[in-house]
Amino acid sequence: MAEYIAKINDSKKEAVADLKSRFDGISSFIFTDYRGLTVAQITEIRDKLRTSDTEFKVVKNRFAKIAMKDMGITEVDDFLKGPTAVAAVPGESNEVAKALFEFAKGGMPLTVKGAVINGELFDAAKIEAFSKLPGRTQLIAMLMGLMKAPVQKLAATLQAIVDKGGEAAKPEEAKAE
């Protein structure tokens, strides 16, 4: 029996090269199953993710495996089965994961298969837990609120003294008594 040999033609090489160029410089990828989504729903997801410079691309699994392997990302073969769309995240991956899970809970038939976040492999449960954590911008806002609170309280106390008419004892009067 003859052995099957895959034909490698220029269009396949170009498709893999295109994927590699799109994924170049990106360290976080979220893999989803888009089965059952309409074109309008995929467009809605793309528009939402575009605000965070994330590209949501439907990929051919074989081409994506080759491109990922060439980029040094090797353990993603389990995520590249069935209809697959990849969210290539150049920035805050937490926010993108949140958005994808919001779409899935909002009635869209979108399933998150797993992710590679900064080189670390996340299964579906781990990426869902990751999406529930506050993002970098939320953490910075919380930190700034904590730093601002003591100064704000001091300013409110001083303003209360001024509003009361400055009834606090002056240093000279305290010495005279």
pLDDT tens per residue across span 56-87: 999 999 999 988 888 888 888 889 999 999 99
Q: By C-alpha distance, which of 28, 34, 33 is closest to 54?
A: 28
> Does the structure show a pLDDT above 90 at 91?
no
Residues of the chain with CATH 3.30.70.1730: 10-131
Q: CB neighbours (10 Å) of residue 138?
A: 13
| pTM flag (> 0.95) | no
In the predicted model, what is the mean pLDDT of residues 92-108?
87
Give residue 166's pLDDT: 61
Give residue 85's pLDDT: 93
Give residue 119's pLDDT: 83
Higher pLDDT, 112 or 107: 112
Kindly indicate the confidence band of residue 177, based on its pLDDT and cuts at 50, 70 and 90: low
Point out which residues pair with 59 in neighbouring strands: 84
Q: 10-131: which CATH architecture?
A: 2-Layer Sandwich (3.30)
CA torsion through residues 78, 80, 83, 85, sign = positive
Kindly indicate the confidence band of residue 29, based on its pLDDT and cuts at 50, 70 and 90: very high
Give residue 47's pLDDT: 92
Kindly indicate the confidence band of residue 6, based on its pLDDT and cuts at 50, 70 and 90: low
Q: What is the mean pLDDT of the chain?
A: 85
> Does the structure show a pLDDT above 80 at 22?
yes
> Does the structure show a pLDDT above 80 at 31?
yes
Residues counted in the chain = 177
Q: By C-alpha distance, which of 66, 130, 125 is closest to 97?
A: 130
